[in-house]
Each structure stands twice: as C-alpha cells, then as structure tokens.
Homo-oligomer: A and B are copies of this chain.
Amino acid sequence: MTTTPTTAAALARLLDEAAVRDTLARFADTATRGDLEAFPTLWAEDATWVIGGSEGQPFERRAEGVQEITALFRGLREEREHFVQFIFPGVVTVDGDTATARSLCQEAASGGGKFYRTHGVWTDTFRRTDAGWVFGSRAYRYLWLDFSPFSGDVSWARGNAA
C-alpha cells in the first residue's frame, strides 16, 4: 500500500511531538548534569526564560537571549553542589514550525547549607530550526516551594552527574 497524505501528516506530527519531548528531557538532563556546553544549544538565539514572578509568584528571575539565559543558568547551578530536575510527560501541541508545551516538574537542590525543593509547571514555546526544536521561551510557575532542610546524603553527587 502507498502512504496516504493523512498518514504522512500523522507521521510528521509524531516526529515533531517526539522532538519537542526530547528537548524537554534534554533540558532536565543538561540542567541536572550542569552541562554548560549542551545547555545553550537547547535555546533559540532570542529566547526568553522566566522563573516565577508573575501573579505574586516568589523568586523572580528573568533572562533574554541565549547568552543571558546561559549566564542565569550558570549562576543558579553554581550556587548548588547538588541539583536535580525531574520533568514529567506534558501536553504538547505542534502548529507548523512552532509548538507549545505545558509540563509538570520537580526540583531538588542543596549546597552551602541551603536547601531548595519545588513542584511547578513549565509553559514553553518551541521553534523548529535546522538543528531541531529549540526553546523560544520557558516560563516556570511555582506550585510549591520549600527551603527547609532535608535529610540524606548527596556528598558524592558534586559536579557532573553523567
């Protein structure tokens, strides 16, 4: 049998959706490993990154352009000996050469006697480029934020986790 246009379109949509989900997973992987080389490749040149801030959200951070975004990431990551981001399968919508996703997230971090844990939701836009799908924008909304100390050992998790 030959492929119908519907089939070809369905495959194209699946490939795009898988690529968007891959970018989300790579962010979590890269952020957890503190990989400063891979991190900028996930973003569009003129992307924006917003953490908290809107509607009474705590802990606002904003960055515009991949250089500022990478600098913000370096700063956040260097404050912490131990950091991990867990990303959950979210709702992805592809529309031509752009896409949106909303994904739930957990993070935990510690370092220098400080502790950080959060649950929240990422609202992201993506753009298709020659090098794949990259973030056009990421905005994080806290649903839960806890600075209280937690038990357990992270002493061997310093530096790159890969």
Stretch in A17-25, A65-73, A129-137 with 4+ CB within 8 Å of B: A17-25
Size bracket, chain A contacts: 35 or more
Inter-subunit contact A104/B84 (CB<8 Å): yes
- Chain A interface main SS type: mixed
Closest to A146 in B: B152
Within the complex, what minimum Cβ distance (angstroms) separates A159 from chain B? Answer: 10
Report the bound CA distance from A111 to B55 in whole Å.
Answer: 20
Closest to A10 in B: B15
A32 in the interface, Cβ–Cβ < 8 Å?
Answer: yes
Could you tell me which A residues sit within 8 Å of B by CB distance?
A: 1-5, 7-8, 10-11, 14-15, 17-18, 21-22, 24-26, 28-29, 32, 55-58, 82, 84-92, 102, 104, 106, 108, 117, 119, 121, 123, 141-148, 150-154, 156-157, 161-162
Can you offer 26 A-B residue contacts whose CB atoms are under 8 A? A1-B4, A2-B2, A3-B3, A3-B7, A7-B11, A11-B14, A14-B15, A17-B18, A24-B89, A26-B91, A28-B104, A29-B90, A29-B91, A55-B156, A57-B156, A58-B156, A82-B143, A82-B144, A84-B104, A85-B104, A86-B88, A88-B89, A144-B154, A144-B157, A146-B151, A148-B152
